[in-house]
């Protein structure tokens, strides 16, 4: 297990290094354009040249990359040109807010998706299965920007019972969380429910379920004790994949409702060519993706002892 973890950690570091190089290459290979982005489009050639030499942009690209990486690793992430604030100040607060939104949505998506998925998967082809599948496909196929417009037309403009912007500037208000959460849940739960349904249907067709049934086990016991644990393995990966999506993929929802989370931060960074902020956001996203992958791999081995990662064939 330790060897497996170390090997996976090595991979994680490798992926992050590769991505950091790509990010730096894309954003900073053209030093002149960095100067334009940082000191503004109206700056003169002279001011740009001065800024470039002051900030070490005379050095070759690889040297600049290594210097940047060194600073990044030691926690010097630079400052945002748009907000005029240290990136290390901006990023944690925005991440925390996305954490609240994503966490709430996640806490709704998982149980709802499991409930729907199990109900549908236990009896494939039943009317319950058909209804659930229809709802799941319908909600998943409506993109967030469309459901956001639709929901705010109903709850903000027509009924007037929910706030239309979720800035949370006067402190936390649960009402402001309702619409963004609803948009995310609507878009995402159907996908997870269908995964659970497929896995469940698969397991329910296995001979050991029939055996349990013939031994006279109650349906509840069959589902909870025999089927569910085995059906969890595939959806776990899907669920873990939702976490990185919830961190950076909720950009559309966050921007629409002016929710000050990680997605809004990344969006504003891109709009304003805020180089240091884009780099930090990109690295954070990559970190979330590779670390959730690592966790899901570990969960896999715990849920299914037959899976042994990191061992060569014949060793098990």
Partner 1 sequence: MSILRTTSGRPAHPEVAAVADQLLKGAIDRRAFLRTVSLLGISAASAAAFAGLAGPAAAQETPKQGGTLRYGASIMEINDPMMITWTQPSNVARNVIEFLTQVDEENITHPHLAASWDPSADLTTWKFKLQPNVKWSNGDAFTTEDVAFNIRRWIAPESKSSNKSAFSAIKEVEVVNDLEFTLHLSRPTLAIPEMLFAYTCPMVHRKFIEQGGVWTKNPIGTGPYELVEFAVGQKATLKRKAAYWGTKVHLDEIRFIDLGTDVTASIQALASGQVDIVPSINTTDIDVVKRLPNATLLVGHAAQTICIRMQVTQKPFDDLRVRQAVVLAADNQKILELGYRGLGMAAENHHVAPFQPEYFKLPPVKRDVAKAKALLAEAGYKDGIDLSLVLGNTQGRWEQDCAQILQQQLAEAGIRMKLDVKPSSEFWPIWDKVPFGLTFWAHRPLAVMTLDLAYRGGGAWNESRFASAEFDAALNKATGIVDPKQRAQAMEAVERILQDAAVMVQPFWADRFGAMSTKVRGFRLHPATYNLLGNVWLA
Name the residue nearer to partner 1 (CB basis): 129 or 274: 274
For partner 1, the binding residue among 67, 88, 141, 169 (CB under 8 A) is: 169
Among residue numbers 99 through 158, which ones bind partner 1 (CB under 8 A)? Answer: 152, 156-157
Any contact of residue 314 with partner 1 (CB under 8 A)?
Answer: no
Q: How far is the CB of 274 from partner 1 (least distance, A)?
A: 10
Chain positions 231 to 260 lying near partner 1, rule: CB under 8 A, are 255-258, 260
**DSSP notation for the chain:** -HHHHHHHHHHHHHHHHHHHHHHHHHHHSSHHHHHHHHH-TT--HHHHHHHHHHTTTTS-HHHHHHHHHHHHHTT---EETTTTEEHHHHHHHHHHHHHHHHHHHHHHHHHHHHHHHHHHHHTTTSHHHHHHHHHHHHHHTS-HHHHHHHHHIIIIIIS--S-S----TTS--HHHHHHHHHHHHHHHHHHHHHHHHHHHHHHHTSHHHHHHHHTT--HHHIIIIIIHHHHTHHHHHHHHHHHHHHHHTTHHHHHHTT--SHHHHHHHHHHTT-HHHHHHHHHHHHHHHHHHHHHHHHHHHHH-TT--TT--TT--
Total binding residues toward partner 1, as defined by CB under 8 A = 35
Q: Which stretch binds partner 1 (CB under 8 A): 9-17, 31-39, 118-126, 297-305?
A: 31-39
261 binds partner 1 (CB under 8 A): no
* Residue 175 vs 211, nearer CB to partner 1: 175
Min separation Cβ 202 and partner 1, Å = 43
Assess 33 for contact with partner 1 (CB under 8 A). Answer: yes
For residues 41 to 80, the per-residue mask of contacts with partner 1, x marking binding by CB under 8 A and - elsewhere, is: xx-x------------------------------------
Binding segment for partner 1 among 56-64, 164-172, 280-288, 293-301 (CB under 8 A)?
164-172
**Nearest approach, Cβ of 61 to partner 1 (angstroms)?**
19
List contacts with partner 1 (CB under 8 A): 33, 36-37, 40-42, 44, 82-85, 90, 94, 152, 156-157, 160, 162-165, 167, 169-170, 255-258, 260, 264-265, 267-268, 271, 273
């Amino acid at each position: 297990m330790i060897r497996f973890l170390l090997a996976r950690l090595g991979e994680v570091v490798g992926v992050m290094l590769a991505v950091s190089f790509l990010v730096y290459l894309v954003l900073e290979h053209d030093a002149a354009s960095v100067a334009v982005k940082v000191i503004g489009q109206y700056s003169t050639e002279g001011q740009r040249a001065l800024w470039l030499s002051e900030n070490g942009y005379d050095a070759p690209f690889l040297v600049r990359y290594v210097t940047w990486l060194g600073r990044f690793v030691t926690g010097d992430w630079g400052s945002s040109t748009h907000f005029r604030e240290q990136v290390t100040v901006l990023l944690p607060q925005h991440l925390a807010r996305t954490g609240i939104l994503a966490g709430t949505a996640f806490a709704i998506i998982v149980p709802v998706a499991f409930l729907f998925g199990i109900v549908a998967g236990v009896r494939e082809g039943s009317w319950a299965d058909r209804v659930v599948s229809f709802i799941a496909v319908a909600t998943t196929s409506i993109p967030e920007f469309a459901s956001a417009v639709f929901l705010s037309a109903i709850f903000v403009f027509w009924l007037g019972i929910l706030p239309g912007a979720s800035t949370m500037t006067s402190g936390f208000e649960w009402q402001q969380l309702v619409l963004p959460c609803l948009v995310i849940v609507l878009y995402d739960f159907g996908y997870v429910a269908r995964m659970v349904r497929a896995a469940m249907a698969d397991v329910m067709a296995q001979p050991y379920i029939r055996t349990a049934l013939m031994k006279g086990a109650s349906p509840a016991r069959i589902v909870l004790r025999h089927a569910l644990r085995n059906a969890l393995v595939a959806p776990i990966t899907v669920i873990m994949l939702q976490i990185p999506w919830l961190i950076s993929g909720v950009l559309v929802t966050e921007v629409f409702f002016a929710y000050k989370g990680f997605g809004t931060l990344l969006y504003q960074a891109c709009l304003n060519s805020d180089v240091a902020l884009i780099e930090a956001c990109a690295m954070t996203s990559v970190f979330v993706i590779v670390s959730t992958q690592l966790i899901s791999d570990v969960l896999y081995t715990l849920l299914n002892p037959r899976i042994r990662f990191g061992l060569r064939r014949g060793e098990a």
